[in-house]
Amino acid sequence: MRLVMIGSGYVGLVTGACLADFGHTVTCVDKDAARIDRLRRGEMPIYEPGLEGIAAQNVRDGRLSFTTDLTGPVKEADAVFIAVGTPSRRGDGHADLSYVYHATREIARALQGNTVVVTKSTVPVGTGDEVERIIRDERQSRDFSVASNPEFLREGSAIQDFKHPDRIVIGVEDEHARAVMEEIYRPLFLNKSPILFTARRSAELIKYASNAFLAMKVTFINEIADLCEKVDANVQDVALGLGADNRIGSKFLHAGPGFGGSCFPKDTMALVKTAQDYDSPLRLIETTIAVNDSRKRAMARRIIQAAGGNVRGKKIAIFGLTFKPNTDDMREAPSISVIQALQDAGARVSAYDPKGMEQARALWTDVAFHASPYEAAENASAICILTEWEQFRALDLQRLEKLVAQPVLVDLRNIYSEEDVTRFGFVYSGIGSRSGAPMHIADLAAARERLVEAV
């Protein structure tokens, strides 16, 4: 099949490269000329494990190419995917569909007919109808189809997720679209990935309902974690027991600093807005958003308390800035609110992230970025692990203890146990256990004494 991907970001690039890998001929389009130049030179504009290799292989094999001009490729395409951004609209929180509609008009002008236009971007229910109307008005004909094919990949494991999805959701309104979409995804179907065909509006809603549910699950365990701290229970044990129930499932039950990223915040908000417009409010999701928002600044207060209650003029080291590991994506990362709140309290922030430094530098001029966690930790009054990058799981705590001004470790991802850390003289504050209620630095001496006694 001849396919065109409009938008070569996290989703467009991964989808384009993987569909080329299935044997289709794919043209990835982006209006950002610098991005296309980099791609043509073989450089990936984003960090996504495994992407560079797949892209390079398929470029070499002649199945994947990059351009800023969609006209030629769209004319010959069996299907054109729209994979442009749908950020929150400033002011009201609805999904900003201007990129989708702009791309739609461009596609409409180039279409030759019998092509399936597929929204891969996350779009509110009913957007497919509007895409169809725009194209029909432009072309004065109905010789095209519009399908919805929301994407469920996760940054950091996007290739694996695309090639081994839990399900593929396709919303269609006609047989031609169904046949073309079936052909596109045949390799996955042969691989036994379930394909769910629905009406277009249902497919659009499945995506938002999925993200909202996951965001709610994360927020639920975060609130349970807070309760664990008060009642001297351990959230990791609670999550284990809870998640072992097949009806609940163990994923997305990791307590932490609150959800962020390029999707959950904007998608939960957009769904709430859609529901309000239809006079069918989603109270659970409204609450999820509110609870999550307040959690991030609460995390900063936790760090401040662990560092002694007053961080004015003190240095706080942040390990991990991206919203999750294995991506360089900083969109809505919890680090943004946490660092802001620390700076509001007068702290000096030093930071290290394995892949997110380039994007982070564009966000802050008043954060000191370092080449390693050890450099970032020098003279810090507290270290905070904010993103659970693999390399933070085996930090040289002995070395760190000698570098810091105060041996305080706030582990907002629970990647260490209290025992792991106190052995090296650190005061530990995790999430959702007794250690989560942060110890005041005055208690440090007592903790050390207990440690000496234990030894």
Ligand X SMILES: NC(=O)c1ccc[n+]([C@@H]2O[C@H](COP(=O)([O-])OP(=O)(O)OC[C@H]3O[C@@H](n4cnc5c(N)ncnc54)[C@H](O)[C@@H]3O)[C@@H](O)[C@H]2O)c1
Q: Is 359 in the site for ligand X (CB under 6 A)?
A: no
Side-chain-side CA neighbours of residue 88 (13 Å) = 19
Kindly tell me which residue out of 21, 151, 353, 418 binds ligand X, with binding defined by CB under 6 A: 151
Residue nearest to ligand X (CB): 9
Cα angle, residue 161 at apex, residues 157 and 167 outer, rounded to 5°: 155
The nearest distance, CB 176 to ligand X, in angstroms, is 24
Among 3, 4, 5, 6, which residue interacts with ligand X (rule: CB under 6 A)? 6
Task: Indicate whether 48 belongs to the interface with ligand X (CB under 6 A).
Answer: no
Q: Is 162 in the site for ligand X (CB under 6 A)?
A: no
- Report the residue number, 103 or 135, with the smaller CB distance to ligand X: 103
Among 219, 222, 262, 337, binds ligand X (CB under 6 A): 262
Of 2, 31, 75, 402, which lies in the binding site for ligand X, with binding defined by CB under 6 A? 31
| By the rule CB under 6 A, 11 interacts with ligand X | yes
Please, are residues 315 and 36 in contact by the beta-carbon 8 Å criterion?
Answer: no
Among 4, 84, 271, 386, binds ligand X (CB under 6 A): 84
CA distance 76 to 3: 9
Question: Assign residue 368 a region: left if phi > 0, alpha if psi is -120 to 50, beta otherwise?
Answer: beta
CA distances from 417 to 322, 352, 411 (A): 23, 22, 9
- Smaller CB distance to ligand X: residue 171 or 407? 171
Per-residue mark of binding to ligand X, 216-255 (x: CB under 6 A): ----------------------------------------
List CB contacts of 78: < 8 A, sequence separation 6 or more.
1, 2, 3, 115, 116, 180, 183, 184
Core vs surface per residue 333-359: b (16+ CB within 10 A) or e:
bbbbbbbebbbebebbbbbbbbbbbeb
Binds ligand X by CB under 6 A, chosen from 4, 17, 21, 35: 35
Q: Is 208 in the site for ligand X (CB under 6 A)?
A: no
According to the binding rule CB under 6 A, does residue 32 interact with ligand X?
yes
Whole-number Cα distances in Å, 186 to 24, 62, 198: 11, 21, 17
Collapsing DSSP states into helix, strand and coil, what is residue 3? strand
Cα angle 317-261-409, degrees, rounded to a multiple of 5: 25
Binding segment (CB under 6 A) for ligand X, from list 79-87, 185-193, 235-243, 293-301: 79-87
Is residue 444 a contact point for ligand X (CB under 6 A)? no
Is 17 near ligand X (CB under 6 A)? no
Q: Which residue number, 97 or 116, has a Cβ lying nearer to ligand X?
A: 97
Residue among 334, 326, 325, 330 nearest 295 (CA): 334
How many C-alpha atoms does 36 have within 13 Å on its Cβ side? 17
Q: Does 86 bind ligand X (CB under 6 A)?
A: yes
Nearer to ligand X, 167 or 399 (CB): 167
Which residues are CB-contacts of 97 (< 8 A; sequence separation ≥ 6)?
86, 123, 124, 127, 130
- Residue 12 binds ligand X (CB under 6 A): yes
Q: Is 155 in the site for ligand X (CB under 6 A)?
A: yes
Q: Compare residues 324 and 413 and give the one whose CB is closer to ligand X.
A: 324
In this chain, which of 16, 73, 85, 265 binds ligand X, going by CB under 6 A? 85
Q: Does 148 help bind ligand X (rule: CB under 6 A)?
A: no
Active site residues per annotation: 263
Stretch that binds ligand X, among 28-36, 216-224, 365-373, 385-393 (CB under 6 A): 28-36
Contact (CB, 8 A) for 162 and 14: yes
Side by side, the strands of the sheet bearing 408-411 are 367-369, 348-352, 315-319, 382-385, 408-411, 427-429
> Which residue among 4, 9, 200, 311 contacts ligand X (CB under 6 A)?
9
Q: Which is nearer to ligand X, 9 or 258 (CB)?
A: 9
Give the residues lining the site for ligand X (CB under 6 A).
6-12, 29-32, 35, 83-86, 99, 102-103, 106, 121-122, 151, 153, 155, 262-263
